[in-house]
Amino acid sequence: MREERKGMLIVVSGAAGTGKGTICHELLTWDQTIRFSVSVTTRKPRPQEVEGVHYYFITEERYDELLAQDAFVEHATVHGHRYGTLKSEVDSLIENGFNVLLDIDSQGAKEVIRQRPDCVSIFILPPSYQALRDRLEKRNTEDPDEIERRMHNAYGEIALKHLYQYNVVNDDLDTAVNAVRAIVTAEKQRTTRYFPVVE
């Protein structure tokens, strides 16, 4: 049996605090064909964030240059900071047979779904709004005003869940991770990406 595969673009989105980052991390350790697409951002690095691993941290001026060059597959302003996914980064990985993972907000996801309709789009939901608030408070990375802003944004983001191909509720992390793995496994067998040759 000879096999040929085409890489796919996997978009994972959800409101802040839904656990999408943790789920994406689990996907990356589970499947060596998945590569994380590193986005650019104008915000300052958080503690433990590494340049070129978590984000490319750039100036507002450099961001404007990239915008003028139409260099983004998606870009958005989220919580007062600008983010973007580079076309060159995504296309290079897919051409080399890798599955590219984007962990992005719903604004960005909407743009990718529009530009790349063949992407696999997954939206991570909290079991309740109270659970979401509890998670945001427990992670201690935002002040109370920021938590309120993120909660306000969550209502709008969750209202867009129908735009995605898949919805996964993260009530129990292992269950949610297994659901996302099952989606990726099935999508790898799609006839537009998988070309087995029976000899």
pLDDT tens track for 88-125: 989 988 988 899 999 888 888 998 999 999 999 999 99
Domains in the chain: boundaries: 2-197
Separation between Cα atoms, residue 12 and residue 25, nearest integer Å = 11
Angle between helices 144-158 and 129-138 (to 10 degrees): 140
**How is residue 30 written in tokens?**
């589970």
What digits encode the pLDDT tens for the residues 140-157? 777 888 899 999 999 999
* Phi and psi, residue 63, nearest 5°: -60, -45
Taking a C-beta distance cutoff of 8 angstroms, is the pair 18, 170 a contact? yes
CATH 3.90.1150.10 fits 2-197, yes or no: no
What global pTM score does this model have?
Answer: 0.85
- Predicted local confidence at residue 9, as pLDDT: 96
Q: Where are the alpha helices (DSSP H) in the chain?
A: 20-30, 60-68, 87-95, 106-115, 129-138, 144-158, 173-188
Whether residue 164 is predicted with pLDDT greater than 90 in this model: the reply is: yes
- Predicted local confidence at residue 58, as pLDDT: 95
Q: Work out the pLDDT band at 4, boundaries 50, 70, 90.
A: confident
Which residues are CB-contacts of 184 (< 8 A; sequence separation ≥ 6)? 10, 27, 31, 34, 99, 120
